[in-house]
Amino acid sequence: LAKTTQPISMDSYEGQEVNITCSHNNIATNDYITWYQQFPSQGPRFIIQGYKTKVTNEVASLFIPADRKSSTLSLPRVSLSDTAVYYCLVGDPRSSYKLIFGSGTRLLVRP
């Protein structure tokens, strides 16, 4: 499974847009990019998944450039409740449903 690299931590303020970038230089052709969010004392929670270009849902957007060696999770207008750890994962869901979590990015949203 491809290894990912993301910033250890980020700070933001309420109402701002937050962009978290993840590098996955060795991503394979069949790999998808998935983001999870984890609050203290809870299990990780799925945010968004994509293969190429842009994916948007009610929570976030995922931008994937043509070479797919990186991806950016965009959280519009964050609130205090978005303070959490965000994990970027890559893998081929058609061959394995195994997920390998890295260190994640600890996002702190300030008032």
The length of the chain is 111
Q: Tokens 């959280």 sit at which residue?
A: 75
Q: Pattern of binders to other proteins over 3-42, x per CB under 8 A? A: -------------------------------x------xx
Shortest distance, CB of residue 32 to other proteins, whole angstroms?
8
Using the minimum distance from each CB to other proteins, give the nearer residue, 100 or 108: 100
How would you write 20-53 as a 3-class SS string? EEEECCCCCCCCEEEEEEECCCCCCEEEEEECCE
Residues that bind other proteins (CB under 8 A): 34, 41-46, 49, 87, 93-94, 97-104
